[in-house]
């Protein structure tokens, strides 16, 4: 008797003949075990699952991720100009699909809710026979889908997820994160802040009241305090808050001269807009200019906040104005296809797809355990962030981190951030058992079936 | 001692003295009518009897027990049933179901969580409800939705529902209001029959003198929140004060 | 002390937004007896009236600037608004800068039109239907409206700033004798508060002092009787729906500089505004306004750091907690009438 | 049969057949065909269909029978889910204790919420329940993170205590099971080009759903159910019949809360993860929509409504542009582009739009919900008594 934990559909191949219990009809039981892992591709195609937010507040970010995935698929199948495949240090990819199989894909809507994201991912695994799931725009979704993939024996290549937990307390052997995290944001930002604003500053934190907010506040606090900043106060704000006036208004009374907004998405757009509205940036406190810091920036958020971002520091995973060969190649092919430059979410998703395909090629198998082995401690270059390491201990990518600030005179609606500093990877690297990442257990890879 | 003793009941609404100093005694197994012009306080008095209002002063005793401060369902359990001016029935339920609810209430008391057995399996209830429907001459309508009944049939159903609880006191609030003559006469006959056949006290508030004089054994006339006079129908008819205060009005209006 | 004054200001400001939305919702509840789940969507559409107007004002033709390059290295395409061609750059910029206040003029006819179409085309047929059906159909409508907006404008918030003249904030502290910079409040938010007060006052005056308003108030109290008087109450109710839509829309227009509008801002406000209406008491306009300000102020106090230290998380639940307490102590909210939406 | 009337027995048998044969019914199109996109016969969706069916059946016991419209029922589902996952983390991955505890905890929580909320009626009641649910959601997402996992939710982990289970083999992850039978276990039956999946978890959920449905028929047909309908119809008369309505409505509230908890426990059993969004007001609103859409107060309606919404959410949202291109590939280019341009806004990321339009169409043209649609189709075939159609449907308690 053969059990398949989560099975695949899609391609029909006759397997072992077996009689299913309770059914009198002769049944043909397709044993998924024959290939040794879940959803082993058996025809001449392989299916990837792109699970991105298509409804809800992050729908535009999801749409950009989807564009990047479509581009990646095109490149993997030999179409277009090849993009980063030409600059990628590993040359395993041939432009003939993955292991000679044409890449097909299915899409789903995470709704930025963990339940919906898992339902969508399960449908990709059970109905469409996806062998890898990727995408997402929040840490809640990333952690939920990562756990599902671990159980199902599928590789998960995380999309945009910044919380320490994804590769910290909730890390999983089948999951990989290319995106940077809260700790790295703090470590990269602190020296730049010290250089620009001095080491004698009083910071006031507003923190989104959920896991990502907590890890970001902790990271920024500990790295700025290490430089001599004082944290005057840290106030938690509800996720569902839209008007932050009652949180912003008391900031000046506290004697703080820096406001750190540990917010993302709509929260960040609104809190930053409100803070600027209150004229905080025009004030002199403790004989210093009042400043605002946004630890995690994205272009879409900058767009939503409009002119309010001008001159405000933050960190980002990647930006299209980078001038290395990989970034240029990616911007070129994305811009040619869609008419505007890609976002950091698009970049991460594109790179994750290529990294997965490359790992399969190098491993010579779609078997998740083989892929995990190929990705662990894999070093590569030419993907836009300089030399990068996929660390085996926690499946986190280590690469340079960008510190950016809102541009004063944007040339177009996409030209909103400018790079202030590229923080070298050494400065943002931490031990796998760093206290901000403790409590997790990577476990071992699960091939499913 | 009557079955219902109202002593010194008074009720104010803001500046309005709705009931002054009402004393009333209703004898067991009698038919007692309370009449009075509009605004005389008839409905207020009735609401004080069934627990919907709590009087400011005085006492209301039913069979030696005070009803004051009890909730409507508790007062009902003491044996007082009420028929409303517009029939209050369960419009979404069938006639048969309407009749079964009070039967269940009578058998099970205040709350019985009988969630598994089917209604049809409750033979005793079904029989009682069917019996009552026959008594009310409504057996042929048992599967109709109550909302679809005629006004007269709704009234009949409501009276039947009250009777199936076997109350000791039946309070009727203008039971023939808005009815056609034929329906009114049917209702009078029905009430007569009930009063003759059952051990029951009936208190009736009514505008229609035809109904009052056809049914009542005693009549209390209420005016401006206080009882004007209480007597037998024949004496009331001839009472000058009543003629002046009330009957004159209706005669000219009629 | 200064902290408390500041939070009262915040509360009044928040409250004025709640009160404005709740006011329209109550008008529709009270007059038409309809549970309108699409009311938040009307607020959102109002906000997008402002976005649309500023898009219209910045409608552009492109010229190619050979001296600059775009991100792909091609010559840069520069957008030049048509309005520059008409009024010249300086006046053109000034008009674009004032897009939000100008949108009020644009939004009033649009919102009244939308309100009329909604009432005549859809809501009218649901007056006699159960509340559950009303909820389903207006919720469906709300989804459709917001998806249409999302289709044309995307999911991302769209910055819609106030005119430059309203940038910055007013220093109450200095005026009241506190240290400067302790009690500052943005000019635009003060404008919003004043605007809300005017609109609320206008609606009340309209209902109080015009015969039209008198009939509508009578209709709210007893629809059938008014109908029996031979007054065409339906036509007046259509107009009331238009007015309610316009109030929601204007609240949306003026809100855009406070928070960048996005397609789901209506849903974000919907639940909150229902809570406000119910806490105020069904069918009571003063109740809705009072509850709006009360909840706004309490929410502001609950977000103070000192409060959060004692009661962590109180800012997450304050509105709902207050709603529960009020509804348990006052059965029909602050000023509700008996028998309205109690079955 | 089973103490049911003939009509109810027929209905029950139909539901049993539909659930047992769901793997066939939901997979009408052969694999690889263009229409295979519409197949719903895969374990996750089948499980969700029956679980949300249970949720809606329970909600209907409150709303359909008593008329009390709760806007906070997702809280009971969420609380049940959290109870279940903690049972799995602490005690055993066997789903039986998890499901039992989820029903118990949800029942206790609904007793508390119901006891307070039922002091008010109408919209005041709705807002009270909404307030409780929103507080549960907000707290679970933020300050209760140590208990609920907050944003990232809770999943079983390798190093959980699980005191009743033995140690896991190396490389194994903890999996939900029914005395050793894992929920993910599936058999696949291949017939020609068709593949039918028979999933253990689905059948366990389906059996629970059938029992829940049977119980709801019994409740609808019981004296208790009749009392609830009486409360909905005329609370005044109930009081003047010597009955106190509150214990009846409270019992209905708790029963429906326990149904919600059962659904929450099953969700965890089938897919071992809980997130706080499960309790957000939109989730409460969804079950209201399911019930009204299907037909409130009818027996089968809520199940149909739940199936309809979950099907739309999971199937329509997955249709993307490349699928459209496949569908219309046989058309001439110009027409193909035109058709894609027309259909595209309604699929994939536009699935909400389609859902909103369908809500409106159903409620405008089928006032009694999907059940009424079925009845109308039924009447088309019968063509017997066209006259009494209007009076029917609204008040008929069953079907």
Distance from CA of D274 to the nearest CA of A (A): 8
The verdict on A125 and A245 lying in the same domain is: no
Using CB atoms, which chains have 3+ pairs under 8 A with C? A, D
Residue ranges making up the domain that contains A110: 45-177+322-394
Question: pLDDT category, B139, cuts 50, 70, 90?
Answer: very high
> Which residue stretches of C177-232 are H helix?
187-209, 211-221, 223-228
Angle between helices A344-363 and A325-338 (to 10 degrees): 110
Is residue B45 domain-resident? yes
Instruction: Count the neighbouring beta carbons within 10 Å of the beta carbon of residue D116.
Output: 16
Is residue B40 domain-resident? yes
Question: DSSP label at A446?
Answer: -
Q: Closest residue of C to D235, CA-based?
A: C343
Count of the separate structural domains present in chain D: 1
Sign of CA dihedral B139, B141, B146, B152: negative
The verdict on A149 and A242 lying in the same domain is: no
Residue by residue, DSSP assigns C21-51 as HHHHHHHHHHHH----TTHHHHHHHHHHHHH
CA–CA gap between residue D32 and residue A12 (Å, rounded)? 9
Q: Tell which of A52, A83, A240, A242 to mutate to test the C interface (max C CBs under 10 Å).
A: A242
CA–CA gap between residue D372 and residue D362 (Å, rounded)? 10
Of B115, B186, B102, nearest to B150 by C-alpha is B186
Per-residue pLDDT reduced to its tens digit, C17-76: 999 999 999 888 877 888 899 999 999 999 999 999 999 998 888 888 888 888 887 888
Residues with Cβ within 8 Å of residue B217, at least 6 apart in sequence: B30, B31, B32, B232, B233
A277 touches chain C (CB under 8 A): yes
Query: What is the pLDDT at residue D232?
Result: 93
Mean pLDDT, residues D18-24: 94
Is residue D348 domain-resident? no
The bridge status of strand A230-237 relative to strand B57-62 is unpaired
Say yes or no to pLDDT of D55 above 70: yes
Is residue B84 domain-resident? no
Say yes or no to pLDDT of A434 above 60: yes
**Region of residue B7 (phi > 0: left; psi between -120 and 50: alpha; otherwise: beta):** beta
Only one residue has tokens 């047929």, namely: C125
CA distances for B76 relative to B72, B113, B154, D309, angstroms: 6, 20, 20, 46
CA–CA gap between residue B173 and residue A238 (Å, rounded)? 56
Chain C residues whose beta carbon lies within 8 Å of the beta carbon of residue A233:
305
Which of A288, A316, A344 delimits the end of a domain? A316
Residue ranges making up the domain that contains B154: 91-166
CA–CA gap between residue D393 and residue D270 (Å, rounded)? 36
Count of the separate structural domains present in chain B: 2
CA–CA gap between residue D284 and residue D309 (Å, rounded)? 14
C-beta atoms of D349 and A443 within 8 A: no
Residue ranges making up the domain that contains D154: 6-280
C-beta atoms of C70 and A412 within 8 A: yes
Residue A79 is part of a domain; what is its CATH number? 3.40.50.2300
Query: What is the pLDDT at residue D399?
Result: 37
Per-residue pLDDT reduced to its tens digit, A344-359: 999 999 999 999 999 9
Question: pLDDT category, D395, cuts 50, 70, 90?
Answer: very low
CA–CA gap between residue C91 and residue C98 (Å, rounded)? 11
The verdict on B43 and B155 lying in the same domain is: no
The verdict on A218 and A279 lying in the same domain is: yes
CA–CA gap between residue A244 and residue A278 (Å, rounded)? 11
Is residue D307 domain-resident? no
φ, ψ of residue A396 to 5 degrees: the values are -105, 140
C-beta atoms of A252 and C184 within 8 A: yes
Of D350, C48, A337, nearest to D341 by C-alpha is D350
Q: pTM of the prediction?
A: 0.93
Residue with the larger pLDDT of the pair C182 and B140: B140
Query: What is the pLDDT at residue B171?
Result: 94
Say yes or no to pLDDT of D391 above 60: no
Do B and A touch, 3+ Cβ pairs within 8 Å? The answer is no
Chains C, D: CB contacts within 8 A come to: 128
D312 touches chain C (CB under 8 A): no
Query: What is the pLDDT at residue C201?
Result: 95
CA–CA gap between residue C336 and residue D285 (Å, rounded)? 25
Of B86, B103, B74, nearest to B161 by C-alpha is B103
CA–CA gap between residue D273 and residue D271 (Å, rounded)? 6
Q: Closest residue of A to D47, CA-based?
A: A119
The verdict on A91 and A198 lying in the same domain is: no
Residue with the larger pLDDT of the pair D1 and A266: A266
Mean pLDDT, residues C192-220: 89
Question: pLDDT category, D330, cuts 50, 70, 90?
Answer: confident
The verdict on B182 and B158 lying in the same domain is: no
Chain A residues whose beta carbon lies within 8 Å of the beta carbon of residue D185:
3-5
Per-residue pLDDT reduced to its tens digit, C254-289: 999 999 999 999 988 888 989 999 999 988 889 999
Query: What is the pLDDT at residue D389?
Result: 40
CA–CA gap between residue A72 and residue D26 (Å, rounded)? 33
φ, ψ of residue C229 to 5 degrees: the values are -75, 0
Mean pLDDT, residues D125-136: 95
C-beta atoms of D189 and A29 within 8 A: yes
Is residue A111 domain-resident? yes
C-beta atoms of B88 and D237 within 8 A: yes
Q: Tell which of D21, D140, D188 to mutate to test the A interface (max A CBs under 10 Å).
A: D188
D-contacting residues in C 109-128 (Cβ below 8 Å)? 122, 125
C-beta atoms of B88 and D236 within 8 A: yes
Say yes or no to pLDDT of C242 above 60: yes
C343 touches chain D (CB under 8 A): yes
CB of A300 within 8 A of CB of A340? no
Is residue D29 domain-resident? yes
CB of D95 within 8 A of CB of D165? no
CA–CA gap between residue C114 and residue D326 (Å, rounded)? 39
Chain B residues whose beta carbon lies within 8 Å of the beta carbon of residue D255:
115
Mean pLDDT, residues A388-417: 93
Residue D185 is part of a domain; what is its CATH number? 1.10.3470
Per-residue pLDDT reduced to its tens digit, A134-165: 999 999 999 999 999 999 999 999 999 999 99
Q: Tell which of D44, D157, D314 to mutate to test the A interface (max A CBs under 10 Å).
A: D44
Is residue A63 domain-resident? yes
Q: A3-12, A91-100, B137-146, B156-165: lowest mean pLDDT where? A: A3-12
Distance from CA of C336 to the nearest CA of A (A): 28
Tokens of residue D258, six digits: 């326990």
Chain C residues whose beta carbon lies within 8 Å of the beta carbon of residue A52:
none
Query: What is the pLDDT at residue B247?
Result: 54
The verdict on A197 and A226 lying in the same domain is: yes
The verdict on B53 and B67 lying in the same domain is: yes
Per-residue pLDDT reduced to its tens digit, A256-286: 999 999 999 999 999 999 999 998 988 888 8
Do A and C touch, 3+ Cβ pairs within 8 Å? The answer is yes
Distance from CA of A428 to the nearest CA of D (A): 24
Per-residue pLDDT reduced to its tens digit, C71-111: 887 888 888 888 888 888 888 888 889 999 999 999 999 99
Count of the separate structural domains present in chain A: 2
Question: pLDDT category, A299, cuts 50, 70, 90?
Answer: confident
Q: Closest residue of C to A233, CA-based?
A: C305
CB of B183 within 8 A of CB of B135? no
Quote the Cα angle for D358-D362-D363, to 5°. 120
Query: What is the pLDDT at residue C12?
Result: 93
Distance from CA of B232 to the nearest CA of D (A): 30
CA–CA gap between residue D143 and residue C149 (Å, rounded)? 35
Question: pLDDT category, D107, cuts 50, 70, 90?
Answer: very high
Distance from CA of A370 to the nearest CA of D (A): 14
Query: What is the pLDDT at residue C88?
Result: 84
Which of A316, A344, A361 delimits the end of a domain? A316
Looking at the partner chain, which of C71, C154, C181 has a beta carbon nearest the beta carbon of A252? C181
**What is the greatest pairwise CA distance in chain D?**
74
Distance from CA of D282 to the nearest CA of A (A): 12
Is residue D326 domain-resident? no
C-beta atoms of B117 and D223 within 8 A: yes
Per-residue pLDDT reduced to its tens digit, D2-16: 788 899 999 999 999
D-contacting residues in A 234-263 (Cβ below 8 Å)? 236, 238-240
E strands within A263-335?
284-285, 288-289, 291-296, 313-316
E strands within A113-201?
132-135, 155-158, 175-177
> Which residue stretches of A174-235 are H helix?
182-197, 211-226
Query: What is the pLDDT at residue A16?
Result: 32
Chains A, C: CB contacts within 8 A come to: 136
Average pLDDT score, chain A: 89
Tokens of residue A202, six digits: 């009083």
CB of A257 within 8 A of CB of A280? no
Which of A316, A348, A382 delimits the end of a domain? A316
C-beta atoms of A118 and D271 within 8 A: yes
A332 touches chain C (CB under 8 A): yes
C-beta atoms of D145 and A29 within 8 A: no
Is residue A39 domain-resident? no
Residue B247 is part of a domain; what is its CATH number? 3.40.50.300
Beta-bridge mates of residue B83: B172
The verdict on B216 and B150 lying in the same domain is: no
Residue by residue, DSSP assigns B89-145 as --TTSBHHHHHHHHHHHHHH-S-----SS-GGG-HHHHHHHHHHHHHTT-GGGTTSB
Per-residue pLDDT reduced to its tens digit, B2-56: 899 999 999 888 778 888 889 999 999 999 999 888 778 888 898 888 888 889 9
Do A and D touch, 3+ Cβ pairs within 8 Å? The answer is yes
The verdict on B57 and B21 lying in the same domain is: yes
Say yes or no to pLDDT of B251 above 60: no
CB of D250 within 8 A of CB of D114? yes
Query: What is the pLDDT at residue D115?
Result: 97
Per-residue pLDDT reduced to its tens digit, A213-249: 999 999 999 999 999 999 999 999 999 999 999 999 9
CB of B78 within 8 A of CB of D189? no
D135 touches chain C (CB under 8 A): yes
Using CB atoms, which chains have 3+ pairs under 8 A with B? D
Average pLDDT score, chain D: 90
CA–CA gap between residue A138 and residue A163 (Å, rounded)? 8
Chain D residues whose beta carbon lies within 8 Å of the beta carbon of residue C131:
69, 123
φ, ψ of residue C342 to 5 degrees: the values are -100, -10
C-contacting residues in A 41-70 (Cβ below 8 Å)? 56-60, 63
Say yes or no to pLDDT of A178 above 50: yes
Query: What is the pLDDT at residue A5?
Result: 39
Say yes or no to pLDDT of D392 above 90: no
Per-residue pLDDT reduced to its tens digit, B42-84: 888 988 888 888 899 999 999 989 998 888 899 999 999 999 9
Sign of CA dihedral D245, D249, D254, D255: positive
The verdict on B63 and B187 lying in the same domain is: yes
Mean pLDDT, residues B152-159: 92
Mean pLDDT, residues D175-181: 92
Per-residue pLDDT reduced to its tens digit, D254-302: 999 999 999 999 999 999 999 999 999 999 999 999 999 999 999 999 9
Query: What is the pLDDT at residue D382?
Result: 78
């Amino acid at each position: 008797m053969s059990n398949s934990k989560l099975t695949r559909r899609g391609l029909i191949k006759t397997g072992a003949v077996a009689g299913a219990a309770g059914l009198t009809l002769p049944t043909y039981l397709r044993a998924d075990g024959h290939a040794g892992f879940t959803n082993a591709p058996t025809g001449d195609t392989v299916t990837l699952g792109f699970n991105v937010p298509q409804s809800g507040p992050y729908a535009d970010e999801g749409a950009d991720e989807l564009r990047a995935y479509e581009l990646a698929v095109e490149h993997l199948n030999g179409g277009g100009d090849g993009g980063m495949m030409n600059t990628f240090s590993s040359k395993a990819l041939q432009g003939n699909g993955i292991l000679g199989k044409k890449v097909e894909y299915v899409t789903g809507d995470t709704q930025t809710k963990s339940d919906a994201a898992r339902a969508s991912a399960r449908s990709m695994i059970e109905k469409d026979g996806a062998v890898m799931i990727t995408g997402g725009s929040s840490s809640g979704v990333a952690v939920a889908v990562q756990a599902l993939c671990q159980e199902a024996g599928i590789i998960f290549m995380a999309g945009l997820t910044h919380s320490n937990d994804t590769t910290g307390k909730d890390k999983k052997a089948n999951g990989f994160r290319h995106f940077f995290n809260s700790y790295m944001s703090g470590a990269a930002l602190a020296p730049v802040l010290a250089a620009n604003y001095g080491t004698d500053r009083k910071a006031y934190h507003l923190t989104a009241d959920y896991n990502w907010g907590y890890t970001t506040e902790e990271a920024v606090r500990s790295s700025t305090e290490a430089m001599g900043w004082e944290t005057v106060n840290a106030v938690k704000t509800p996720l569902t808050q839209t008007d932050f006036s009652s949180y912003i208004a008391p900031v000046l009374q506290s004697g703080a001269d820096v406001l750190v907004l540990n917010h993302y998405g709509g929260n960040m757009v609104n809190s930053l807009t409100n803070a600027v509205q209150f004229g905080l940036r025009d004030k002199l406190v403790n004989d210093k200019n009042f400043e605002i810091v946004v630890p995690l920036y994205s272009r879409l958020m900058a767009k939503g906040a409009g002119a309010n971002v001008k001159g405000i520091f933050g960190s980002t995973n990647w930006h299209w104005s980078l001038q290395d060969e990989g970034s240029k190649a990616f911007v070129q092919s994305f811009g040619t296809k869609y008419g505007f430059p890609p976002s950091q979410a698009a970049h991460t998703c594109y790179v994750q797809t290529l990294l997965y395909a490359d790992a399969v090629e190098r491993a010579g198998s779609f078997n998740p355990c083989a892929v995990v082995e190929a990705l662990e401690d894999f070093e590569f270059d030419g993907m836009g962030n300089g030399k990068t390491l996929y660390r085996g201990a926690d499946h986190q990518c280590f690469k340079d981190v960008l510190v950016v600030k809102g541009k004063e005179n944007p040339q177009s609606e996409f030209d909103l951030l400018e790079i202030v500093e590229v923080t070298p990877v050494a400065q943002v690297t931490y031990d796998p058992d760093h206290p901000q990442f403790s409590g997790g257990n990577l476990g071992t890879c699960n091939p499913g079936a | 001692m009557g079955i219902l003793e109202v002593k010194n009941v008074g009720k104010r609404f803001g500046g309005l003295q709705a009931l002054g100093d009402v004393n009333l005694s209703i004898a067991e197994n009698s038919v007692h009518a309370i009449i009075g012009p509009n605004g005389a306080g008839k409905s207020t008095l009735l609401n004080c009897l069934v627990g919907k209002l709590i009087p400011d002063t005085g006492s209301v005793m039913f069979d030696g027990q005070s009803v004051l401060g009890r909730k409507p369902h508790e007062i009902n359990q003491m044996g007082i049933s009420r028929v409303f001016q517009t029939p209050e029935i369960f419009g979404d339920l069938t006639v048969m179901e309407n009749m079964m609810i009070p039967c269940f209430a009578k058998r099970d008391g205040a709350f019985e969580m009988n969630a598994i057995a089917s209604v049809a399996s409750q033979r005793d209830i079904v029989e009682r409800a069917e019996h009552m429907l026959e008594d009310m001459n409504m057996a042929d309508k048992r599967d109709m939705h109550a909302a679809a009944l005629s006004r007269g049939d709704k009234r009949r159903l409501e009276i039947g529902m009250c009777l199936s609880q076997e109350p000791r006191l039946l309070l009727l609030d203008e039971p023939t209001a808005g009815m056609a003559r034929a329906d009114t006469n049917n209702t009078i006959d029905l009430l007569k029959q009930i009063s003759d056949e059952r051990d029951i006290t009936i208190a009736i508030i009514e505008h229609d003198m035809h109904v009052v004089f056809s049914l009542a054994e005693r009549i209390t006339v209420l005016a401006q929140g206080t009882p004007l006079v209480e007597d037998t129908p024949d004496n009331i008819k001839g009472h000058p004060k009543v003629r002046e205060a009330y009957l004159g009005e209706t005669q000219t209006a009629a | 002390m200064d902290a408390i004054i500041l939070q009262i200001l915040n509360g009044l400001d928040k409250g004025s937004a709640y009160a404005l939305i709740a006011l329209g919702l109550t008008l529709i509840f009270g007059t038409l007896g309809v549970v309108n789940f699409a009311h938040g969507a009307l607020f959102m559409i109002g906000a997008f009236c402002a976005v649309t107007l500023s898009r219209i004002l910045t409608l552009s033709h492109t010229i190619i600037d050979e001296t600059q390059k775009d991100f792909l290295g091609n010559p840069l395409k520069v957008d030049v608004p048509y309005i520059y061609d008409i009024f010249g750059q300086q006046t053109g910029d000034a008009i674009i800068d004032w897009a939000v206040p100008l949108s009020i003029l644009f939004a009033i006819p649009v919102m009244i039109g939308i309100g009329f179409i909604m009432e005549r085309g859809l809501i009218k047929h649901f007056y006699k239907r159960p509340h559950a059906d009303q909820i389903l159909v207006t919720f469906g409508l709300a989804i459709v409206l917001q998806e249409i907006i999302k289709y044309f404008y995307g999911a991302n918030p769209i910055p819609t700033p106030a005119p430059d003249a309203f940038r910055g904030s007013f220093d109450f502290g200095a005026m009241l004798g506190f240290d400067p910079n302790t009690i500052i409040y943005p000019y635009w938010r003060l404008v919003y508060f004043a605007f809300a007060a005017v609109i609320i006052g206008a609606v009340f005056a309209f209902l109080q002092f015009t015969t039209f308003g008198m009939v509508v108030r009578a209709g709210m109290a007893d629809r059938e009787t008014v109908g029996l008087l031979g007054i065409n109450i339906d036509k007046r109710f259509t107009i009331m729906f238009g007015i309610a839509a316009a109030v929601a829309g204007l609240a949306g227009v003026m809100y855009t500089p406070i928070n960048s509008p996005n397609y789901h801002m209506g849903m974000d406000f919907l639940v909150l505004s229902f809570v406000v209406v119910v806490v105020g008491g069904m069918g009571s306009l003063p109740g809705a306004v009072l509850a709006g300000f009360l909840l706004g102020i309490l929410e502001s106090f609950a977000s103070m750091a000192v409060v959060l230290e004692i009661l962590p998380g109180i800012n997450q639940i304050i509105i709902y907690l207050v709603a529960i307490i009020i509804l348990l102590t006052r059965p029909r909210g602050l000023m509700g009438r008996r028998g309205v939406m109690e079955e | 049969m089973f103490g049911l009337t003939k009509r109810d027995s027929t209905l029950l048998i139909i539901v049993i057949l539909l659930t047992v044969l769901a793997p066939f019914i939901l997979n009408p199109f052969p694999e690889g065909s263009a229409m295979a996109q519409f197949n719903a016969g895969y374990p996750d969706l089948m499980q969700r269909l029956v679980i949300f069916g249970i949720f809606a059946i329970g909600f209907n016991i409150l709303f359909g029978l008593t008329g009390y419209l709760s806007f906070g029922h997702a809280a009971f589902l969420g609380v049940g889910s959290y109870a279940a996952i903690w049972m799995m983390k602490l005690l055993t991955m066997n789903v039986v204790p998890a499901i039992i505890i989820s029903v118990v905890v949800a029942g206790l929580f609904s007793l508390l919420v119901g006891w307070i909320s039922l002091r008010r009626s109408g919209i005041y009641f709705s807002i009270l329940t909404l307030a409780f649910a929103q507080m549960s959601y907000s707290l679970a997402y933020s300050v209760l993170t140590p208990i609920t996992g907050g944003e990232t939710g809770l999943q079983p982990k390798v190093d959980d205590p699980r005191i009743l289970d033995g140690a896991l083999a190396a490389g194994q992850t903890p999996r939900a099971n029914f005395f050793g039978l894992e929920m993910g276990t599936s058999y696949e039956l291949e017939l020609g080009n068709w593949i039918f999946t028979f999933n253990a978890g689905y059948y366990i959920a389906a059996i629970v759903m059938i029992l829940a449905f049977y119980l709801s028929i019994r409740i609808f047909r019981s004296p208790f159910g009749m009392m609830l309908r009486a409360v909905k119809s005329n609370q005044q008369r109930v009081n003047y019949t010597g009955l106190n309505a509150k214990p009846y409505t409270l019992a209905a509230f708790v029963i429906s809360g326990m149904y919600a908890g059962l659904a929450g426990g099953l969700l965890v059993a089938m897919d071992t993860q809980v997130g706080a969004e499960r309790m957000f007001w939109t989730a409460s609103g969804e079950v209201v929509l399911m019930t009204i859409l299907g037909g409130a107060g009818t027996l089968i309606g809520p199940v149909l409504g739940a199936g309809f919404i979950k099907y739309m959410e999971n199937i329509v949202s997955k249709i993307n542009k490349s699928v459209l291109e496949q569908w219309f590939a046989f058309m001439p280019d110009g027409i193909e582009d035109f058709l894609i341009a027309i259909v595209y806004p309604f699929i994939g990321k536009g699935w909400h739009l389609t859902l909103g339009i369908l809500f409106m169409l159903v409620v405008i043209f089928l006032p009694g919900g999907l059940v009424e649609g079925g009845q109308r189709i039924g009447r088309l075939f019968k063509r017997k008594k066209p006259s009494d159609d209007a009076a029917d449907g609204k008040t008929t308690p069953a079907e």
